[in-house]
Structure 1
Amino acid sequence: MESELALSVGQAFVAPERRRHRSSMSVRIPEPRLLALKGACALISDSSSRNAIAHQAGELSVRGFLADYISTPEHWDIKTSATRVLRALNGWCHSQSGHVSGGSYVCSLSAMIYRGREAHLFHMGDTLVFRLRGAEFEQLSRDHVTDLGGYRYPSRALGMDGNLDIDYITMPLKQGDIFLFTTPAVRGTLMPSDYVQLIRQDASDLDAACERLAATAQERAQERGYGGEQFCFQLVRIDRLPEDVTEAPDKLYGDLPVPAELSVGQRLDGLEVRGVLSRTAQSRVYRVFDPVSRREMVMKAPSPELSSRNAYLEHFLLQQWVVERVRSPFVARIMEPSRPRTHLYYLMNLIEGERLSDWARRHPQASLSQRLDIARQLAKAVQALHRRDLLHQQIHPDNVLVDTHGQVVLADFSACRLREGDGHKHSRELARQLGLTEHSAPEYALDDDVGRRSDQYALASTIYWLVTGGLPYDMPPHQLRSHTDLEQLSYKSARSLNPEVPQALDDALRRALDPQRALRFRRLSELVVALREPRNKGEAVKATSSVSNRFWQGLAVLLLALLVISWLMR
């Protein structure tokens, strides 16, 4: 289509064979629908020459951004999408750097997104981005460097610190604009006039222009005595701008209306309603049958009364994105409709089973081993969400399904949100709006910061209920009114309600259920370890006891023999 944004790209990379590459660059121009929605991406990354895993750090940052940015919810704006992806990448890189020796997952990164008639630049560290407009050559990125012992190191780089400070600027585009992405190695080799002359020499072939830049930079570097450096150049030219990029507000939700109330026997987009599973103030959940695929599925739609409440509709779309993004056998998965949707809803696979609360009532004699197996599966579901930087916030027995084979599936994401940087104020408000339960962590009732350890509390409370049939505190935490009420919370040992519970598990539950969020496990995996029961534990204890008894019996016989010998030798 002539009204679409059109770009041309050129690249050149030169590095001595004896040196390991430490830079990475890429451009992604998606198919037309995503190009209009998310835009085209151009990135460059660079790491220190003293970093043993410099190339891996650069490759991971570029590939990770391109993969995750395109997968962000369609209703997010560019700044929100890119910033959250970069912060997630930064958190992963920073945490992984502690597990490697001789290097780190730290790199400078510049990412530019072209959408419509605007460009959005996200910059960290000391990679370089320039714009050539006519004869004007302008640096768009800022240099963030620190001088240490005569060497310049990037600061505010990706993976360097747990908190990421990102430079963000937007600028209007003009047809013919050329953007240059390069690395700090080029400093001291080319002047602004050189860039303009070498690019304009033949701007129709951007690959050749990059090759000229690289060859000239290498030649100048050798003349100055530091020819061992590598050079990386990437050019992006704006060939055509879209004619009209004005978007109506209702485009945010794809122009899809909220479905009216449905009853058994009615059809929507060819899907036949066979049962109403849930009606709440926020949503409707139906059991539907698709005659084309011959499958039964679960349809979730916003409540008809909320059709004008865009704030909830935005969160409803996030729920769908959560289901699409998380890949785990313990989390409900999204199903694609066989026909185009005409209303706002999404489909999930149908779980033939029952809620965990119903399962527990029907299986009062279930063994501790069976219950711990369910607990371990539920913990894996929560870990799958946390790996995607998501909080569930509504972990309790009614939101957990157990199928006919004992498979556990976490199936409700009404309160699920991405982790935020403001103490999760919006997450906490959403959870309270949907309603707290007896398994909710105390911080939700006390307006304190919430986070992964809040999910840890709810998971531990559900496990405690599963193995004991009771609750860890006499006062439900969601009924707390002030911080002084926390002092009234006294943990009831799980072993006092079920003597079969191992002491190690009781101790782990006690810590995960601590009223003070900071005192719980730092990582959920520490609780998961306590759920791993050794097989044939009773036999192992008996065998250990038997070996111990034989040892002491043999020692007694030996001492008796020595005593007899000493008596006979007198």
Structure 2
Amino acid sequence: MAAGRLSLSYGQAFVAPDRRRHRSSMSVSMPSGQQMSTKGACALISDSASRNALAAQAGDLCVRGFLADYYSTPEHWDVKDSVYRVMRALNAWCHGQTRQLPEGSYVSSMSALVLAGRDAHLFHVGDTMVFRLRGAEFEQLSRDHVTDLGGYRYPARALGMDAGVDIDYIQPGLKQGDIFLLTTQGVRGTLMPSDYVGLIRQNASDLNAACERLAQAARERAGERGYGSDSFCFQLVRVDELPDAELDTPSRVYGDLPIPPELTPGERLDGLEVVEVLSRTTHSRVYRVRDIRTNRDCVLKAPSPELSNRNVYLEHFLLQQWVVERVRSPFVVRVIEPSRPRRYLYYLMRHVGGITLSDWMARHPQASLAQRLDLALQLGKALQALHHRDLLHQQIHPDNVLIDEHGQVVLVDFSACHLRDVDGHRRSRLLAQQVGLNEHSAPEYALDDEVGRRSDQYALASTAYWILTNELPYAVPSHKLRSHTDLEQLNYRSARTRNPEVSRELDEALRRALDPQRSLRFRRLSEFLYSLHPNRQSSGESSTPRVWRDPANVWQIIAGGLLVLLIISWWVR
């Protein structure tokens, strides 16, 4: 690598009796160009916490998923923020998959060492181990998260083990000549610190050979002590050269790329010709553009020109692109890569030929109950795709939803979309308030209460209610509440009184999802979506006999039966 920049060398060795059932995975990534300056190099190692058929998948998925997502994070995010977000999203995915498996799990320990500029960053969860050799000093940097039970050591903390994850983070310092060793818990008890130092120093010029020597020595020592060399991993990373101090500060993307000026139809920007102005707001500009090179129509979104000095919003603007790139769903609009380098700050999305949900409802006043429910259900699936990525949308609204010529719903706006926070979602709530609340926003946004996935559930249910009835569920708009005492004014207006085709079960599901108290709504979004399936509605009635649908009828029948039994008991006397 060129002088004055971070230069690294690395080596690896892997030992497993059966490569098809190995539990560990490791990788080193050293990107080139700007990414090396902003994101740095990554060395990772993971070790599954189980010995089932999914063990290999769990380790490999954690490593590959981390690298793919970390290097896709916005370049203006610092290392710590990027890794925390990626590891928490990865943990949420692994935990969700594990809960659905009857056997096995995606639980995995992982250590991620990021070397960026003149700094080292270590992120660790579980029982994988990271050491640093500096001169003659050999030190373990990671802390084992294990519990001793009956003489066996089990991970007390790992990815996928729980819905939340506590990640150890340290900055161990970086000097030229430092050598980092990443290995797995299975090596513990085989080699002494002096063995590591001696074997690494003997092969300092060839790190692959040093790793092979470590693996061979560990395997021999394990055999002598009577236990198998199950999945030994050794990975060495050496710092050959540090960058110059003046090159240590990465450039910030939103400082390098200017915000586009105000555009009108016919004007061009980076080979994109403006066809139509779709939206002008205080925060952003949205244009339909045509790529001159490919003749492809797409949608360009850029920050509003008057926001050029508001870096906080610009950081979130770049997050929007990252959000859309991470979500894979036919119900969520897809990001498009430009055909030539960008000279301005914007991103491109697929052009969806269609109309907004508001316009569709105005054009189809006679739409059937099944058609309306299908639209609400598709919108729910779009929201589910975001929640699976640990994202809150916070702006579910008919004007943010397009219906294409095939009747498919596509969610197109992410102005208030935000990763779930660990501070009661305060930042998420403030962002939603800054972008602007609407009549479908949950009450907690107006009252500065804690928000979460059930807040999105409320907005979806409110929109579904509007699709079914063309009205709102409460006479008082929830986004205009001023105090908690105002919640008493929110009296649910039955959807059945406005659309007789709505069944009692569906009306009850809407009432629950729209409860002013967040804790009383459905625990999972999937429970609410189940009630929206059109095949569960049959001309506004359910398969339950009519006499059993009214609670009053039920109690009358029970009371009548008890009366008959009482009379019979008197008669037999």
Match of 2:164 in 1: 163
Kept in 1: contact 2:379–2:411 (CA 8 A): yes
Describe how 1:169-248 pairs up with structure 2 within 5 A: 169-227=170-228, 229-244=230-245, 246=247
In the TM superposition, residue 260 of structure 1 has moved relative to its aligned partner by: 2.0
Describe how 1:66-81 pairs up with structure 2 within 5 A: 66-81=67-82
Moved more, 202-211 or 530-539: 530-539
* Residue 445 of structure 1 pairs with residue 451 of structure 2: no
Match of 1:382 in 2: 383
Q: TM-score, normalised by structure 1?
A: 0.89
Letter in 1 for 2:101: V
Describe how 1:141-160 pairs up with structure 2 within 5 A: 141-160=142-161
Kept in 2: contact 1:52–1:102 (CA 8 A): no
Match of 1:520 in 2: 521
Distance 1:262 1:47, change over 3 A: closer
Match of 1:430 in 2: 431
Letter in 2 for 1:499: P
In the TM superposition, residue 185 of structure 1 has moved relative to its aligned partner by: 2.2
Letter in 2 for 1:367: S
Cα distance between partner residues in 2 of 1:59 and 1:270? 40
Letter in 2 for 1:46: D
Match of 2:566 in 1: none
Higher Cα radius of gyration: 1
Cα distance between partner residues in 2 of 1:208 and 1:150? 35
In the TM superposition, residue 393 of structure 1 has moved relative to its aligned partner by: 0.7
Cα distance between partner residues in 2 of 1:19 and 1:192? 31
Mark the runs of 5 or more structure 2 residues left unpaired by the alignment: 547-573
Q: Percent identity among equivalent residues?
A: 71
SS in 1 for 2:252: helix
Cα distance between partner residues in 1 of 2:228 and 2:407? 64
Moved more, 169-178 or 309-318: 169-178
In the TM superposition, residue 488 of structure 1 has moved relative to its aligned partner by: 2.2
In the TM superposition, residue 406 of structure 1 has moved relative to its aligned partner by: 1.8
* Residue 36 of structure 1 pairs with residue 52 of structure 2: no
Cα distance per residue 1:147-195 (max 9 Å; x no partner): 2112222222222333312111113323322111112222222111111
Cα distance between partner residues in 2 of 1:20 and 1:437? 53
Match of 1:82 in 2: 83
Letter in 2 for 1:2: A
Cα distance between partner residues in 2 of 1:423 and 1:60? 29
Distance 1:319 1:119, change over 3 A: same
Letter in 2 for 1:462: T
Kept in 1: contact 2:500–2:540 (CA 8 A): no
Kept in 1: contact 2:109–2:159 (CA 8 A): yes
Kept in 1: contact 2:117–2:248 (CA 8 A): no
Moved more, 342-351 or 473-482: 342-351
Describe how 1:91-106 pairs up with structure 2 within 5 A: 91-101=92-102, 103-106=104-107
In the TM superposition, residue 5 of structure 1 has moved relative to its aligned partner by: 2.6
Match of 2:399 in 1: 398
Distance 1:536 1:486, change over 3 A: closer
Distance 1:162 1:469, change over 3 A: same
In the TM superposition, residue 19 of structure 1 has moved relative to its aligned partner by: 10
Moved more, 229-238 or 466-475: 229-238
Kept in 1: contact 2:289–2:297 (CA 8 A): yes
In the TM superposition, residue 312 of structure 1 has moved relative to its aligned partner by: 0.8
Number of positions where the alignment pairs a residue of Structure 1 with one of Structure 2? 544
Describe how 1:471-550 pairs up with structure 2 within 5 A: 471-534=472-535, 537=538
Describe how 1:200-349 pairs up with structure 2 within 5 A: 200-227=201-228, 229-244=230-245, 246=247, 251-253=252-254, 255-349=256-350
Cα distance between partner residues in 1 of 2:537 and 2:485? 45
Letter in 2 for 1:405: H
Match of 2:555 in 1: none
Letter in 2 for 1:104: S
Distance 1:540 1:155, change over 3 A: closer
SS in 1 for 2:153: strand
SS in 2 for 1:521: coil
Mark the runs of 5 or more structure 1 residues left unpaired by the alignment: 546-570
Distance 1:233 1:541, change over 3 A: closer
Kept in 1: contact 2:93–2:389 (CA 8 A): no
Kept in 1: contact 2:75–2:252 (CA 8 A): no
Cα distance between partner residues in 2 of 1:99 and 1:378? 23
SS in 2 for 1:130: strand
Q: TM-score, normalised by structure 2?
A: 0.89
Cα distance between partner residues in 2 of 1:18 and 1:402? 49
Match of 2:560 in 1: none
Cα distance per residue 1:339-398 (max 9 Å; x no partner): 322221222222222221122112211222222222122112111211221111111111
